[in-house]
Amino acid sequence: MAVRQRTEIASDCLWRTSRILCNGLFLSGCHSFFFVCFLFSPAGLKQIHALSIQGNYELRIDLEDFENSTAYAHYGTFGVGLFSVDPDDDGYPLTVGDYSGNAGDSLLKHNGMKFTTKDRDNDHSENNCASFYHGAWWYRNCHTSNLNGQYLRGQHTSYADGIEWSSWTGWQYSLKFSEMKIRPTRDPDNK
């Protein structure tokens, strides 16, 4: 069992997906083409921001359900706080684009949204989406995906408060596994 974007196991994720550690999770100036994993703590978002402003980044999301079926979503464009003067103050707005994959796109609707946590309400809802759906995410009003939701182990009767990727498994199925990874986009002129 693994919810990869959670901080406590992010190092395992890195180990699995990367053979070059580059001195740590989010070292700036690391030019390897390996994915690094996400940390969703404020410090993690800060580091992702610092990374993603260095160049063009892509995002890959891998998902698995309790039948061991897997699916992925790839976004050829990714960034956090790309246009922010003070990204922390600005709520680390998400930039995603260029979807491909077989999980369906459940993130583009979050494009441009700020990161909402229980104590920082940056969403477009009257409620705090993070409190309401027990996650922390770039909520709009509120979500089509909730990968930091609760680990509810598959089908659940509550609504949209698990680890949901709605275009693949709807709003009442909490996934067994999810992993978000970013890496620099290959420069087509520099193969």
Site string for ligand NAG, 147-176 (x = CB under 6 A): ------------------------------
Closest separation between CB of residue 65 and ligand NAG, Å? 9
Name the 3-class secondary structure at 174.
strand
Q: How many residues bind ligand NAG (CB under 6 A)?
A: 2
User: What does the DSSP assignment read for 33-74?
Assistant: SS-EE---SHHHHHHHHHHHTTS-EEEEEEEE-TT--EEEEE
CA–CA gap between residue 29 and residue 43 (Å, rounded): 18
Q: 91: number of CA atoms within 13 Å, CB side?
A: 21
- Binder among 1, 19, 67, 86 for ligand NAG (CB under 6 A): 67
| Residue 68 interacts with ligand NAG (CB under 6 A): yes or no | yes
Closest separation between CB of residue 9 and ligand NAG, Å? 18
Closest separation between CB of residue 177 and ligand NAG, Å? 11
| Residue 1 interacts with ligand NAG (CB under 6 A): yes or no | no
For ligand NAG, the closer of residues 64 and 90 by Cβ is 64
Closest separation between CB of residue 70 and ligand NAG, Å? 11
Rounded to an integer, what is the distance from CA 18 to the centroid of its chain? Answer: 17
CA–CA gap between residue 90 and residue 26 (Å, rounded): 21
Q: State whether the Cα torsion 2-8-159-140 is positive or negative.
A: negative
Q: Where do contacts with ligand NAG occur on this chain (CB under 6 A)? A: 67-68
